[in-house]
Structure 1
């Protein structure tokens, strides 16, 4: 099962050297397959994103993703872009630029739409209880979705323990994505 590390400002600093060190340590400890630079409030997002991609490139098996910004992902030579659930119209453009596309989804219909539009994978959330993310979907819903759709699905939301990861793995998800599990 694949691991998708998502950054969060609360676990990092805006100081590039410290950011790089923390990120490097987390990668070395957890060996994620995918990593997303996500920081909606950093005024120096582009600069920090460049540091993020550079650190990812130091690890042979980590695919780097930039949040929302297709052009920046391409410019930085990231593996791909992680689009929000309001960016379905950007899937085609990102694919035309040669980027791998993961998109956030919250309903079965959104997952099907993402597949039909050519996304490579989706995050589907929230699976477990997660702060400010609404009612959890649960493992049974995830199993139904996986049986229904032929697209890589990363379970996301409230995944903080090995037990939860085992449940997601038993559901046959492609992988799990998390912020808090990795810190």
Structure 2
């Protein structure tokens, strides 16, 4: 099962040298196969994103994704872009630029739409209770989704313990994504 590490300013800071060290430590400890730079409030987002892609490249096995910004992902030569659930119209543009696309989804219909528009994978959330993310969907809903649609799904939301990861693994999801598990 694939691991998708998502950064957060809360855990990773916006000071470049400290950020690089923390990211490097977390990559070494957790060995994710995918990683997303996500910081909605950093005034130096472009600079920090460049540091993030450089650290991913040092590992050689981690696919680097930039949150929301297709042009920035392309200019930094990131592996891809992680789009929000309001950016379905950006999938084709990102694909034309040679980027892999992961998009956030919250309903079965959004997952189907993402697949039809050519997204490489989706995050589907929240699976477990997560602060400010609404009612959790649960493992049974995730299983139902995976039975209906053949798409790479990263389970997301409230994943902080090994038993949750084992439950996700049993669903045959492509992987899991988390902020708090990886910190």
Q: Which of the five TM-score ranges fits, normalised by the shorter chain?
A: over 0.9
5+ residue gaps, structure 1: none
Query: Are 1:40 and 2:72 matched, yes or no?
Result: no
Map of 2:163 onto structure 1:
163
Structure 2 CA distance for aligned equivalents of residues 132 and 115 of structure 1: 27
Runs of 4+ aligned residues of structure 1 deviating over 3 Å after TM superposition are none
Map of 2:60 onto structure 1:
60
TM-score normalised to structure 2 length:
0.99
- Residues 126-137 of structure 1: pairs in structure 2 closer than 5 A: 126-137=126-137
TM-score normalised to structure 1 length:
0.99
5+ residue gaps, structure 2: none
Structure 2 CA distance for aligned equivalents of residues 117 and 12 of structure 1: 33
Cα shift readout 1:92-143 (whole Å, capped 9, x = no counterpart): 0000000000000000000000000000000000000000000000000000
Structure 2 CA distance for aligned equivalents of residues 14 and 179 of structure 1: 16
Query: Are 1:29 and 2:29 matched, yes or no?
Result: yes
- Residues 7-156 of structure 1: pairs in structure 2 closer than 5 A: 7-156=7-156
Coordinate RMSD, CA, aligned: 0.4
Structure 1 CA distance for aligned equivalents of residues 135 and 6 of structure 2: 21
Structure 2 CA distance for aligned equivalents of residues 12 and 103 of structure 1: 22
Alignment: residue pair count: 183
